[in-house]
Amino acid sequence: MKHLKKLLIPIIIMLLVKLLFWISFFNSQEHRAQDALFRLRGAKPVSGDIVIVAIDDVTFQALNRPWPYPRELHAKLVENLNLAGARQIIFDVEFTEDSNPVSDSTLAAQCAVVQNVTFCGKHLRDPENPDHVQIQKPISPILAGKLNWGLVNMAMDRDGFIRDYILFEEFDKKPVYSLGVVALANWDGYRPDWESSITRSKAKINVGEYHIPVIKGNKALINYYGGANTFQHYSYSSVLDDSSMAMPGYQGVEIDEFYDLLNRGVFKDKTVLVGATIDELHDKFPTPFSNKLTAGVEIHANFLEMARHGDYLHPVNGWLFLLLELILAIALFYLLSRIKPQHSVMIAIAIIAVFLAGSFLLFAKLNTMIPIVEVVILVILLYVTALVSHYLRAQKEKKFIKNAFQQYLAPELVNQLIKHPESLKYGGILQEVTVLFSDIVSFTTYSEKHKPEETVQILKEYLTEMVKTVIKNGGIVDKFVGDEIIALYAVPLYTEDHALQACKTALDMRACLDRLLAKWKAEGVEPFDFGVGINTGQAVVGNLGSEMIFDYTAIGDTINLGARLEALTRDYDTTHRIIISENTYAKIQNQVEARYLDEVKVKGKDLAVRIYELLSVKGFTPG
């Protein structure tokens, strides 16, 4: 019975540890421990066969247009990459919804000529009804051209990290393969029959000469080569920038960056992945290698690099590991139960240290992943249980035994969410800004004469277009107050020409409203007008509000004066109903056409303020 007990206790502890790792908390700790192996190993060199064309901040600045881009631009990108000798072009950009028919046809036609282009789709599963599955395919002109496409779904763990790569999804009892698998099958050239090169088994997927080990039914572990920007990036706009393309963000300067890329041969015989790396497009994910978010397009690049070189990660054989764990548990418990506690702790620490070093070597040298936290917890529990066994055999008092359990079996958990409440300060900085107030004239009267749903619809259409105009010209919409729009310039990033940006916005808003009025007139909708007030000056900018609810905004006399100027548009006969302050005019007087209106004393100001009617911005055509 005594020997049977020494067998049962470690077996029970081992089963308990196995059960613990069905709980998400412990499973997450295991993931984090294995993530640390990547950081300890460090980055690995990449072959250079794969490069990324990034839709990045530089691109948005150069093109100076909102997302999504017209598909003619993507067609131009394909044309230039093909001219530069790209072996394969892979879009991690979804073209699953129709846009302008001409644009769609242009993109599909260009890619049909080139052929070595792979597009992406998505596998959608209803979270409330997991059996309801849908595949979002690329648009019909792309499919009609018999161009390749694959899924771009990310295998996100419970903690949001991407550690696995989805190889395929089942749909209508058939596999739909991922972007990476499709790219591998067409690595040496476009193959309309590429699926015939793929065979599957429970353990691996064979894609021609590539044999990808499979885990969890349809995934592969990703052997990351580094954190974000491990692969060579080139800006999307740089590839577009040839003599036929104008870059609004370059303000008329001809750079023609593409020719430099062409002459350097940076895309020659390369697989080129095209995708978003800018934060605003929300295609970034945490990975084991770094807490810094990595773009989805670079995750695909890591998979392709791994598969191309057979540099796969392998989870240890489950049955073999279970047997070794069982042997370790029984032998260690037997040993720890027979020696003094002060010696057993040294043995337990030594075993953990040797195991951790071995785990790292297996990962770094053999690409083998084994459970780490699970074994450490097993050793700790065996050690603690052995200690308890010592106390029980000595027949200590219950209280003493209880204290031993508290000391060794229940480690103290400190969950202090806010250690220093006084550090949670809020506030802002004083800086120069330009504020734009826009308000519909007599909108209360307008809304009283129309049904609520008509008012809401017309206001929605109006505000949508106005907000687009603000954003296009470098402003941010601070807030809406009914039909009033408050926009700020030079925040959160300071720009020298913020006053000019605001004036361009106002003129663009007027042009936009004129188009809307023409449209509404044709639809029989009653028109309305608006007024715009612009002021420049010092304001407090930052997280303001309460200590619990922050609001990024600006406050101060500068903001208040902007509102007063907008109200004055009702009192003066102006061309565009746009009034700017003397402060704004002083900053841009050589860049605008403006007419002096008056010197007025507005509410809340002791001194009179000179006001001007904004007529135009030199060299700028509103639209």
Buried b (16+ CB within 10 A) or exposed e, 476-499: bebeeeebbbbbbbbbeeeeebbb
C-beta of residue 99 within 8 angstroms of C-beta of residue 71: yes
Q: What is the pLDDT, as a whole number, of residue 471?
A: 84
Q: What is the pLDDT, as a whole number, of residue 550?
A: 59
Residue 311 pLDDT exceeds 80: yes
CA–CA dist 258, 512 (Å, integer): 34
Residues 6+ apart with CB under 8 A from 147: 108, 111, 112, 115, 117, 118, 119, 138
CA–CA dist 284, 165 (Å, integer): 15
Could you read off the pLDDT of 497-542 as tens digits, one per residue?
999 999 999 999 999 999 999 988 888 888 888 999 999 999 988 7
Q: Calculate mean pLDDT across residues 34-44.
A: 92
Confidence of residue 87 (pLDDT cuts 50, 70, 90): very high
Could you read off the pLDDT of 125-184 as tens digits, one per residue?
777 776 778 899 999 999 998 999 999 999 888 888 999 999 999 888 899 999 999 999
Q: Calculate mean pLDDT across residues 301-310.
A: 95
Residue 596 pLDDT exceeds 80: yes
Beta strands in 457-600 (DSSP E): 476-481, 484-489, 530-545, 550-555, 578-581, 592-600
Lowest mean pLDDT among 177-186, 330-339, 364-373, 518-527: 330-339
CA–CA dist 400, 397 (Å, integer): 5
Residue 441 pLDDT exceeds 70: yes
Could you read off the pLDDT of 386-418 as tens digits, one per residue?
777 666 655 443 343 333 333 323 233 333 333
Whose CA is closest to 559, among 462, 468, 471, 478?
478
Q: What is the pLDDT, as a whole number, of residue 413?
A: 30
| Terminal CA-CA length for the chain | 90
Q: Which residue has the tokens 């409330």?
A: 128
Residue 426 pLDDT exceeds 60: no
Q: What is the pLDDT, as a whole number, of residue 520?
A: 87
Q: What is the pLDDT, as a whole number, of residue 436?
A: 95
Could you read off the pLDDT of 205-244 as tens digits, one per residue?
999 999 999 998 899 999 999 999 999 999 999 999 999 8
The DSSP-derived string for 201-221 is -SSEEEETTEEEE-BTTTEEE
CA–CA dist 501, 581 (Å, integer): 15
C-beta of residue 523 within 8 angstroms of C-beta of residue 514: no
CA–CA dist 466, 472 (Å, integer): 10
Confidence of residue 420 (pLDDT cuts 50, 70, 90): very low
Could you read off the pLDDT of 444-455 as tens digits, one per residue?
677 777 788 877
Q: Calculate mean pLDDT across residues 36-63.
A: 94
- From residue 156, alpha-carbon distances to 161, 286, 295, 299, 393 in Å are 6, 9, 14, 12, 48
Radius of gyration of the chain (CA): 32
Q: What is the pLDDT, as a whole number, of residue 74?
A: 96
Residue 5 pLDDT exceeds 80: no
Q: Calculate mean pLDDT across residues 259-283.
A: 94
Name the superfamily (CATH) of residues 427-617.
Answer: Nucleotide cyclase, GGDEF domain (3.30.70.1230)
User: How is the chain split into domains, by residue range?
Assistant: 2-41+314-408, 50-308, 427-617
